[in-house]
């Protein structure tokens, strides 16, 4: 039986290859065969895809910051007035919950 670490490595390779240039119908067939061979393969692949999506999302959230820079906190946890949820640090305006 293949080790979990080995399966994760292969899953990461498939995710990377599928997202790159030159993906073919033959590649898709090989991936499908690998996924159908084991539930462990399928789970590892789905997790790697989710990790990649989350990484991309985090990159977007960090857009505009220099590499290695940790952004300061945007919001404090203090309520600024009744009905206001959070006051932005250094700002006098409230962020309100959507009504409805």
Tens of pLDDT, residues 17-29: 998 889 999 999 9
What are the strands, taking DSSP E only, across the chain?
Answer: 86-87, 94-95
CA diameter of the chain: 61
Quote the distance between the C-alpha of residue 88 and its chain's center.
26
What ranges do the domains of the chain cover?
Answer: 4-61, 73-100
d(CA 5, CA 49): 16
Tens of pLDDT, residues 58-84: 666 666 667 676 666 554 444 444 444
Residues 6 or more apart from 34 whose CB is under 8 A from it? 10, 14, 41
How high is the pLDDT of residue 59? 63
């Amino acid at each position: 039986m293949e080790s979990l670490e080995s399966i994760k490595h292969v899953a990461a390779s498939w995710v990377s290859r599928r997202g790159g240039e030159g993906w073919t119908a033959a590649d898709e067939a090989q991936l499908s065969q690998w996924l159908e061979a084991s539930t462990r393969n399928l789970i590892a692949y789905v997790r790697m895809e989710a990790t990649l999506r989350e990484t991309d999302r985090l990159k977007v959230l960090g857009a505009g910051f220099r590499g290695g820079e940790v952004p300061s906190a945007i919001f404090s946890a203090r309520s600024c007035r009744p009905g206001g949820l959070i006051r932005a640090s250094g700002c006098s305006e409230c962020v309100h919950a959507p009504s409805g």
